[in-house]
Amino acid sequence: MKSYSETLSTIYFGRSSADRLYIHEKISCIPITKIETGNSKRAFSIIGYSCEEGVKRNQGRMGAVNGPDAIRKQLGKLPNHLLEDVAVYDVGTVHCMNGDMENSQKDLSELVSQTLNQNHFPIVLGGGHDVSYGTFNGLKEHLSNSGSIGIINFDAHFDLRNNQPEDLTIVNNSGTPFYQIAQDCKQNETPFKYLCLGIRKDANDRTLFETAKELDVKYIMRDTFRIQFHNEINAWINAFTGSVDHIYVTIDLDGFSSAYAPGVSAPSPMGFTPDVVLESLKTIMGSGKLRALDIAELNPDFDVDNQTAKLAASLVHYVIHDLP
């Protein structure tokens, strides 16, 4: 895997303690192939996807390539409330070499599959939202057709752009991953199950809404995706999770309002808030079907006081502490 690099333990730092009170004292940076099967009750493996080629192709602003390490730096400072028999690893980063995003996605898929084969829960840090094509395929490879996979995307965008248009002006990019997955599902005669939370009209043209309708995509618009409607949102989530065997969650940070996430590829003040995402994640995790998670589109070049990186790190912190 030429595009792979191990993670240096020095990327994780923070306060020191005698009782491993902080995540940087809990996490181990080891390649997945060197981790011995232990007695851990649960193991999480963090994977970096250092790629902004998809953002570049999608005409977004550059900088997402540095997203994984920016999240790592903030995660290490957070407190550790995990039990001793819960392990947290960082198993390295996949890099995009010479603009070859497709090969990076294949390498990510392989690494995600290896992680799942070790009974670790993979958490992938991006990088552009093209990360999803790699994460999904890694999960699919691991499951080997043993049950249906439902995708839940926290995002302002459908990311259903046609990667095979007649004018050939669009190729695979950060806006095409779920269209690519849908086409793969059609070819393999498997169901395409996709739920989007936080969709906005000002973030998707009408052809994307038409594509969503053709593919029977379920979605909740931003004006409904609010904490005061959490009972209705949870009902949608429960109906969706009940219709599939496994769940893959992807969180696009540009779906949040720029008041919370200024450091993204496509910021907007009209996005959603962290509280409704946490409430929704609680419901998803409660289903017992969550198998993989990734976080996309952090752009530290435009972050303010590491606010967006801290948000991403807190989301990771929440999942590793509250996943049943």
- Determine phi and psi for 123, rounding to 5 degrees: -125, 110
C-alpha 27/C-alpha 66 separation (Å) is 20
Answer for the pair 296, 123: CB distance below 8 angstroms, yes or no.
no
Residues 6+ apart with CB under 8 A from 133: 105, 172, 177, 180, 181
246 assigned ligand-binding residue: no
Answer for the pair 122, 175: CB distance below 8 angstroms, yes or no.
no
Residues 6+ apart with CB under 8 A from 5: 92, 93, 95
Q: Letter for the amino acid at 299?
A: N
3-class SS at 147? coil
252 assigned ligand-binding residue: yes
95 assigned ligand-binding residue: no
Name beta bridge partners: 248: 151, 292
322 assigned ligand-binding residue: no
C-alpha 128/C-alpha 6 separation (Å) is 20
245 assigned ligand-binding residue: no
Which residue spans within 26-71 are E strands per DSSP? Answer: 28-29, 42-50
Q: Which residue is it, tokens 């990186």?
A: 309
120 assigned ligand-binding residue: no
Q: Give whole-number Cα distances, 76 to 9, 56, 91, 286, in Å.
A: 10, 29, 15, 26
The count of residues in the chain is 324
283 membership: H or E segment, kind and range = helix 274-286
Binding residues: 129, 155, 157, 159, 252, 254
Binding residues for Mn(2+): 129, 155, 157, 159, 252, 254
